Structure 1
Amino acid sequence: MKLKQELLDICLQDVSKRISHYKNEISFIKESIESNDKVSDEEGESGNSQLLEDLEKNLNYLNDAQKAKDYLNLVKPNVISQNVVLGSIVKTDSINFYIAISKGKVTVSDEDYYIISIQSPIGQLIKSKSVGYQFEFNGKSYEIKAIL
């Protein structure tokens, strides 16, 4: 289960970095808006509207990242399931998946894992499936060899 914890930690670190980044961006944008408020010309007004749009975007990104962190907190790395569930490592005949959030490819102990969301197209294909299940994705065939 050490591997599951390592993969979960990678996801949590990624989400924490995103949260920190968006908080910094929001703080910077708020400071810029306050600076523009001190200058009351027409250029400042159009600048503020762009800053307000950027602020709203970053607030939405922050909200999404915090939801992802909450979602990751539901993962129990010591739980073993016969079927593919949140937190499963799925080994196929050619690719390894970790079911958590959409992150992409990572390498742990010289082995590649694709960290995917259960809501992703491939996640939906393998959700609740067990060892021996065969599926096709993007024209390539796979077979689930192990679920950890």
Structure 2
Amino acid sequence: MTITKKEVYSALHALLQEKQKAIEANIDQLKQSAAEDTKSSAGDKYETGREMVRQEIDKAVMMQQEYQVQMDQLNGIDPEERHEKVRVGSFVVTDRAAMFIAVGFGKIEVNGQVVFVISPQAPLARLMMNKAAGASLTFNGTPQQLVHVS
């Protein structure tokens, strides 16, 4: 693995910021759409449309809050800190995949390499906790060896 924890952290930080900006723009657009909607002679149709827009705004606000929680959790991690054993904020490379234990974000690409960003509460992360490079574990019937922890 030729990428560093700092590179993974920076890439994830940038992706979360992009998602936050996109959600903010979507909320603004939905609010503008709701404000421009004028009542027509088909009153029920208007009310249904407004309700749908309101529900979309509510969903977007919830997503915005979730991204903010993830950003807050990420900001609590020091990408310069070295870890001997797996814990929150560790960059872990096994013989099967690279993972950053931070937030439940999913698969990202960093310098052309796939990294799975997983929550510390994820079953695989829980299995890896407090293990050092060289340790073995079995997840979903598949053995894995920790190659690198930082």
| TM-score, L = length of structure 2 | 0.86
- Give the Cα–Cα distance (whole angstroms) in 1 for the partners of residues 93 and 5 of structure 2: 13
Instruction: Note the 1:133-144 alignment, pairs <5 A.
Output: 133-144=135-146
Aligned to 2:11: 10
Cα shift readout 1:11-70 (whole Å, capped 9, x = no counterpart): 01111111011101111111111122x315221100011111101000000000011111
Alignment of 1:1-148 (within 5 A): 3-36=4-37, 38-40=38-40, 41-101=43-103, 102-108=105-111, 111-148=113-150
Alignment deviations for residues 60-92 of structure 1 (CA, whole Å, 9 cap, x no partner): 000000111111101101111221122212122
Q: Residue 136 of structure 1 aligns to a residue in which SS?
A: strand
Q: Report which stretch shifted further, 89-98 or 56-65.
A: 89-98
In the alignment, the residues of structure 2 paired with residue 94 and residue 63 of structure 1 have an alpha-carbon distance, to the nearest angstrom, of 33
Distance of 2:96 and 2:29 partners within structure 1: 45
Mapped partners of 1:70, 1:59: distance in 2: 16
Cα distance in 1, alignment partners of residues 47 and 139 from structure 2: 50
Unaligned segments of structure 2, at least 5 residues: none
Task: For 1:107 and 1:138, locate their aligned partners in 2 and report how far apart those are by CA, in whole Å.
Answer: 26
Structure 1 position 111, deviation (Å): 4.3
Work out the CA distance in 1 between the residues paired with 2:21 and 2:145: 39
Are the aligned partners of 1:11 and 1:103 in contact in 2 as well (CA < 8 Å)?
no
- Structure 1, unmatched stretches of 5+, are none
State the TM-score, normalized to the length of structure 1.
0.87
TM superposition outliers: structure 1 runs of 4+ over 4 Å: none
